Amino acid sequence: MDVTFRIRRLNPEIPGKDKPYWQEFKLSDVEPTDRVLEMLHRIKWEQDGTLAFRRSCAHGVCGSDAMRINGVNRLACKVLVKDLGTKIQVEPILGLPVLKDLIVDMEPFFAHYRQVMPFFVNDTPLPEDGRERLQSPQDRERFDDTTKCILCACCTTACPSFWANGSYVGPAAIVQAHRFIFDSRDQAAADRLDILAEPDGVWRCRTIFNCTPACPREIEITKAIGEVKLAIMRGSPEGIIQVQDIQHEA
Ligand code: SF4
Ligand code: F3S
Ligand code: FES
């Protein structure tokens, strides 16, 4: 089948191409099961070697090829042509500065990630028998969903609150904070909740819900954000999502 790609381009080093513009590329012999990433490679290797985009694993693991494809944030390596049709529009994810073509500056995104202390904190000595810090399956389950994040930025760059105010930490950073806040072995939950209680923390989330369907890992992002909000209101991650408690308090 023939497929037309319409790609948003920009090259700050070339006069005349230093403002965003659209360019079309036609590809023939495309299989319905081809992925968008493979097609971008064909364009780059067969038609225009200057086309710039990030990718690494090509298997939905590294999170480096987030793009806005037919108006929706996706990983180019996970989207099949048959799910998009014969006209495919590709542009950079929104809300971050474009460096070149489909490549955005991820530094503001990772600055928010660093803000929430995305690392394990426990200063007590390890058990003397040399074993790991153990945890019950139930305690592990509590943050299982948010361990799946690959930091692709599909969620944060789909969030209108982030578009409106880039100082909002964004859903990806909250997901990362959630992973540690609800880990029974970690000791810095209170610090993270204080950080996220600041004006640019979780309260900038207006529950718009764009983030959850944008996640290629199918993480229940809005639910995780809600759990963090509740933990802040209660002053602790303990006892969250006890619906009967909420009903009693209401
Ligand atoms: Fe990507 Fe999902 Fe992580 Fe957001 S939560 S950065 S969409 S993997
Ligand atoms: Fe944004 Fe998701 Fe909240 S889209 S407003 S972070 S529910
Ligand atoms: Fe690694 Fe797509 S290239 S997730």
pLDDT in tens, 46-102: 999 999 999 999 999 999 999 999 999 999 999 999 999 999 999 999 999 999 999
User: In the structure, which protein residues have their CB atom closer than 6 angstroms to any atom of ligand 2?
Assistant: 159, 161, 171, 205-211, 222, 225
* pLDDT level of residue 250 (50, 70, 90 thresholds): very low
Q: Which ligand is nearest to the CA of 223?
A: 2
Question: What percent of the chain has a predicted confidence (pLDDT) above 90?
Answer: 90
- For the chain, the domains span 3-104, 107-234
- pLDDT digit string (tens) for 125-162? 988 887 889 999 999 999 999 999 999 999 999 999 99
State if residue 64 touches ligand 3 by the CB under 6 angstroms criterion: yes
Distance 56 CA to ligand 3 centre (A): 6
- What pTM was computed for the model? 0.92
The reply to whether ligand 1 has any atom less than 6 angstroms from the CB of 106 is no
CA of 201 from ligand 3 middle (Å) equals 28
Which among 134, 120, 127, 141 is positioned nearest to 189, based on CA atoms? 120
Q: What is the CA(76)–ligand 3 centre distance, in A?
A: 7
Give distance in angstroms: CA of 203 to centre of ligand 2: 10
Q: Whose CA is nearest to atom 4 of ligand 3?
A: 60
| Structure tokens, 208 | 């718009």
Q: What CATH number does the domain located at 3-104 have?
A: 3.10.20.30
* Separation between Cα atoms, residue 160 and residue 164, nearest integer Å: 6
pLDDT at residue 249 is higher than 50: no
Q: Do domains 3-104 and 107-234 have the same CATH topology?
A: no
| pLDDT number for residue 243 | 47
**Number of H helices and number of E strands within the chain?**
9, 7
Which numeric CATH code is attached to 107-234? 1.10.1060.10
CA distance 19 to 186: 47
pLDDT at position 239 is 56
Q: If you measure from the C-alpha of residue 125 to the centroid of ligand 1, how many angstroms do you get, rounded to a whole number?
A: 33
